[in-house]
Amino acid sequence: MNTLGTLARHVDYRRMAAGRASVDGTVELSTLPRVLAETAAEAERGGVVTTRLEFSEDRQRRVHVAGTIEATLTLECQRCLEPFDELMSLDVAGIVVGDDEAAANVPRADEPILADDDTLDLHALVSDELLLAMPGVARCRRPECVSRHDAGPTLPDSEAETENFKSKDNPFAMLSQLKRDN
């Protein structure tokens, strides 16, 4: 079994692209504070992100980065408020740029990846990609949570329950009574 080493923090992206090099490694979630802040942090102490990135250069000397990022994040379900594991498997593809002006000139089909001078912060790239891929509203898939929170409103069985249901849940129930009185 091939074990991966720790992912380098910074790389010279131009040198990597000239050699068509790739970077494989792992990052401890505890070293990614922005990602950790969005997870059920206590559970992430031993979490690991596995990354594989390949660098290449096109005819216009633009540096392309492509690869994958995989992690299992512990998120908090917004229905039942219990932690659950979410497998994140992301494809990364973009062009490395040095500033916002260069980012504006990146073709629409590609994503700009911002770098500092001649170095690319791989940990920031991993953090950005994970944050962008996280669900807007985290929901677990546990059957008891789904059935309890996605069942919808229950309909009353008897006429008495129907009247009770109307008055409790309908904010305009009092208006219908006033209308009958007139």
Nearest to 32 by CA among 4, 73, 66: 73
Q: Convert the pLDDT of each residue in 144-181 to its tens digit.
A: 887 776 655 555 555 655 565 555 566 677 677 676 66
Percent of the chain with pLDDT over 90: 49
For 122-152, the pLDDT digits (tens) are 999 999 999 999 999 998 888 888 777 665 5
pTM of the model: 0.74
What are the residue boundaries of the structural domains of the chain, listed by start?
A: 10-145, 155-181
Please report the DSSP string for 92-143 in residue order: EEEEEESSHHHHHTS-TTS-EEE-BTTEEEHHHHHHHHHHHHS-SS-----H
Residues 6+ apart with CB under 8 A from 149: 79, 80
Which pLDDT value is given to residue 157?
55
Q: Residue 76 is encoded by which pair of tokens? A: 């908090």
Query: Tokens standing for 164?
Result: 């009770």
Reduced to 3 states (helix: H, G, I; strand: E, B; else coil), residue 92 is strand
pLDDT of residue 118: 86
The alpha carbon dihedral of 116, 117, 121, 125 has a sign of: positive
Alpha-carbon distance 43 to 31, whole Å?
Answer: 14
pLDDT at 117: 82
